[in-house]
Chains A and B, each alone.
Chain A
Amino acid sequence: MIKGNFIDNLPKVYGIYTGGFLAFIIIMSIGEQMGMTAKTIGICFVAFTVAIYAIIGYLSRTAQADAYYVAGRQVPTVFNGMATAADWMSGASFVAMAGGIYFKGYGYMALLVGWTGGYVLVASLLAPYLRKFGCYTVPDFIGTRYGGNLTRFLAVVVLTVASFTYVTAQINATGTIASVALDIPFQYAVYVGLISILLCSMLGGMRGVTWTQVAQYIVLIIAYLLPVFWISNKMGAGFFPHFMLADEVARIGELEQQFGFVKNAAADLKTVPKGLAGITKAHSAVNATPWGFISLALAMMMGTASLPHVMMRYFTTPSVKAARKSVGWSLFFIFLLYSSAPMLATLSKLSLIDPSLPTGIIGKSIAEVQAIDWYQNWNQANLMFVSDFNGNGTLELNEFFMGGKAVVLATPEIAGLPYVISGLVAAGGMAAAMSTADGLILAIANAISHDVYYKIIDPKAETAKRLVVARVLLVVIGFAGATIAAMEIQGILGSVIWAFDFAMSGLFFPLVLGVWWKRANREGAIAGMALGLISGAGYLIWVRSGGSGFLGITQLTFGIFGSAVSLVAMVVVSLMTSEPSAATQKMVDEVRVPSGRSILGKQ
């Protein structure tokens, strides 16, 4: 069936894979008809998909540095786009995003704009030039462009701080899903998640991660879009929700007017379980100040362009031209999910609050709501809660509380979809969290093994030894992440946003100016990275410990302060010290044109 080169056969391979996955969904739904329990279906979905990823990871094993670090630089544009989209869309995007929009409306949608707009910066400012450079890791670029071990080391530090903050959240998410789907305690589920993650990346490095990420993208996008379309059709809201939900959005606005946003007493709110929230913000009205919205979007955009696990995906394309196009494809594949999240939030909210719909619960009696099957399930899972604060016996809008995850996880059940869809959603969430965790762990392990071990400690190390070190680090970092995740000390979304702020504080300007400003030199880069990271982190600590902040910069946007300090420090210090050597300037000139051999390939 498959002849010749693997790369030439990619469309066929993944076509068969997608067909196989759809067939699996159909088999499961037949199984459900024949009386398979919900639990068995959940286990089958997660176990089957994870087994496939593990097989792909095993088949991609390699002993070559080029394949391990950059997948042999032969990943075609469109497939790299899919892999990047999976790399990018984390458990938070998959499980928490629709929930965020559901509860916070416009103010939260700054994240949608920020997490997509950042790709314009990636495509125009950085990706093609770093691809031309021919580096294995992001610190590799910083270290060679500015020279010296200190710059390289600082870049590794920033990368590790940002990525590690991010990865614990992802391992946490795989643990949550594994614990629900496989019905095991969270403390063990975290390690089940971790082992699944390592199966994809250990043997094949970037090559293994690339081909599993493509497979994971296919699973996660089917798992997200299928329920959205199905629910929309079932509710009669429109057969293509993205173009047809205007009436539903307007109807939510009407209902909000009718019910009003009643503020609950603090004593009443204390009785609501932790992590659950009520609807307190308008769905489609503008409810944030322009600066509140713009500063969050801007921080996410600059963070996107500085996060190494995304940037390194563009090192795997065959050419500079392909790297640029590939950014476009990445964003297209991300767009498919991101543009669906607000639609899911709309459908979910309307189906719950509209009294004229059979699923609507607002206006029903409390006792009636408490008797509904799905309410009991999700109440038990600590994701839903109702309470009769005003004692009138009827459920009001301000008396209904839900967890952010419930929008994605519970809406299919509320809308009356078969359980097979819930199993599919669990597999999708697992794929999203695993693919991001893989990219992040690999980014950290590669930076430490390549930049710290090979370039600084032992430049004569043989390939075999380097790859052993890289794999040992992968396992160590994975376990460190899982151990912290098992302690459950931080929320998923907060730590994800911090990662962007850390990355932009320390890396945005050193990367961008490295290409676009020839005069930038080593001293400037050192000052930019060190002061940027320190001031960003300092601001975060200050605001967290009760500081008032300034210019409306919050703990979610502290990167704006950090990167501003980084820019000023870098420019001032660069201009105060001597300009870079002629060789460095020539190197920058060469980076700026796509033709010719890559910079590092020459050595």
Chain B
Amino acid sequence: MSKQAQHWEKTRGLLIMTLAIWFVFSIGIFLFGAEMNEVTGPFGYPLTYWFTCQGSLGIFVILIFWFANKQEKIDEEFGFSERGDD
């Protein structure tokens, strides 16, 4: 397999993982919104309520930075990263 095909396969793997995490926190947990809200979440807020106003939002921020770093590593591994700028 060519270097480029391998790079793309890894990139696609990372995409699937990123989208899976995204799916859980944007859609998955809200299937059980009513049940989850009975539980006390961080800082004492009802759990579902906390996810809608802080939890999911914060996780998305972290997820994007995590994704960006991983993708940079993949690009470097195959020598496809850009040079000399940031």
Asked if A123 meets B8 with Cβ closer than 8 Å, knowing A247-B44, A294-B30, A595-B80, the reply is no
Partner of A298, one of B27, B52, B64, B81: B27
CA distance A589 to B2 in the complex (A): 12
Which residues of B (40-86) have their CB < 8 Å from a CB of A?
Answer: 43-46, 48-49, 51-54, 56-58, 60-61, 63-65, 67-68, 71-72, 75, 78-83, 85-86
Partner of B54, one of A106, A293, A339: A339
Interface pair B85/A319, CB less than 8 Å apart: yes
Encode contact with B along A317-350: 1 for CB under 8 Å, 0 otherwise: 0111110110110011001001101110000000
Interface pair B71/A290, CB less than 8 Å apart: no
Q: Is A26 an interface residue, CB under 8 A from the partner? A: no
Partner of B26, one of A113, A242, A244, A284: A113
Interface pair B82/A594, CB less than 8 Å apart: yes
Interface pair B33/A290, CB less than 8 Å apart: yes
Residues on A with C-beta less than 8 A from B78 are 593
Using C-beta atoms within 8 Å of the partner chain, give the interface range for chain A.
35 or more
Q: Whose C-beta in chain A lies nearest to the C-beta of B31? A: A290
Q: Chain B interface secondary structure, helix, strand, loop or mixed?
A: helix
Partner of B75, one of A245, A318, A342, A594: A594
Residues on A with C-beta less than 8 A from B27 are 294, 297-298
Asked if A293 meets B30 with Cβ closer than 8 Å, knowing A125-B15, A247-B44, A320-B82, the reply is yes
Partner of B68, one of A109, A117, A290, A325: A325
Encode contact with B along A117-157: 1 for CB under 8 Å, 0 otherwise: 10111011100100000000000000000000000000000
Q: Is A592 an interface residue, CB under 8 A from the partner? A: yes
Residues on B with C-beta less than 8 A from A246 are 43-45
Q: Whose C-beta in chain A lies nearest to the C-beta of B28? A: A294
Interface pair B8/A592, CB less than 8 Å apart: yes
Asked if A117 meets B26 with Cβ closer than 8 Å, knowing A123-B67, A328-B68, the reply is yes
CA distance A113 to B55 in the complex (A): 10
Interface pair A335/B58, CB less than 8 Å apart: yes
Min CB–CB distance A358 → chain B (angstroms): 25
CA distance A297 to B24 in the complex (A): 13
Q: Whose C-beta in chain B lies nearest to the C-beta of A123? A: B64
Interface pair B71/A324, CB less than 8 Å apart: yes
Partner of B15, one of A124, A325, A335: A124
Residues on B with C-beta less than 8 A from A250 are 44
Interface pair B81/A117, CB less than 8 Å apart: no
Q: Whose C-beta in chain B lies nearest to the C-beta of A589? A: B4
Residues on B with C-beta less than 8 A from A551 are none
CA distance A288 to B27 in the complex (A): 14
Residues on B with C-beta less than 8 A from A119 are 60, 64
Interface pair B61/A321, CB less than 8 Å apart: no
Q: Whose C-beta in chain B lies nearest to the C-beta of A330? A: B64
Asked if A332 meets B61 with Cβ closer than 8 Å, knowing A117-B26, A124-B18, A592-B11, the reply is yes
Partner of A284, one of B31, B49, B83: B49
Asked if A121 meets B22 with Cβ closer than 8 Å, knowing A246-B44, A294-B27, A593-B7, the reply is yes
CA distance A298 to B11 in the complex (A): 24
CA distance A110 to B33 in the complex (A): 12
Asked if A124 meets B19 with Cβ closer than 8 Å, knowing A298-B27, A324-B67, the reply is yes
Q: Whose C-beta in chain A lies nearest to the C-beta of B17? A: A124
Interface pair B26/A297, CB less than 8 Å apart: yes
Q: Whose C-beta in chain B lies nearest to the C-beta of A342? A: B53
Residues on A with C-beta less than 8 A from B56 are 113, 116-117
Q: Is A243 an interface residue, CB under 8 A from the partner? A: yes
Which residues of A (284-312) have their CB < 8 Å from a CB of B?
Answer: 284-286, 288, 290, 293-294, 297-298, 301
Residues on A with C-beta less than 8 A from B30 are 110, 113, 290, 293-294, 297
Q: Which 6 A-B pairs have the closest CB atoms?
A: A246-B44, A342-B53, A109-B52, A117-B26, A324-B68, A328-B64
Residues of A within 8 A of B (CB): 77, 106, 109-110, 112-114, 116-117, 119-121, 123-125, 128, 242-247, 249-250, 284-286, 288, 290, 293-294, 297-298, 301, 318-322, 324-325, 327-328, 331-332, 335, 338-339, 341-343, 589, 592-595
Residues of B within 8 A of A (CB): 4, 7-8, 11, 14-15, 18-19, 22, 25-27, 30-34, 37, 43-46, 48-49, 51-54, 56-58, 60-61, 63-65, 67-68, 71-72, 75, 78-83, 85-86
Name 20 A/B residue pairs within 8 A (Cβ), A-sorted: A116-B57, A119-B60, A123-B67, A123-B68, A242-B54, A284-B49, A285-B37, A286-B34, A290-B30, A294-B30, A319-B85, A321-B81, A328-B68, A338-B57, A341-B53, A343-B53, A592-B4, A592-B8, A594-B82, A595-B79
- Additional A-B contacts beyond A335-B57, A592-B8, A593-B4 (15; CB < 8 A): A106-B52, A110-B52, A117-B56, A120-B22, A120-B63, A124-B22, A246-B45, A285-B46, A294-B30, A298-B27, A319-B85, A327-B68, A328-B65, A335-B60, A593-B78
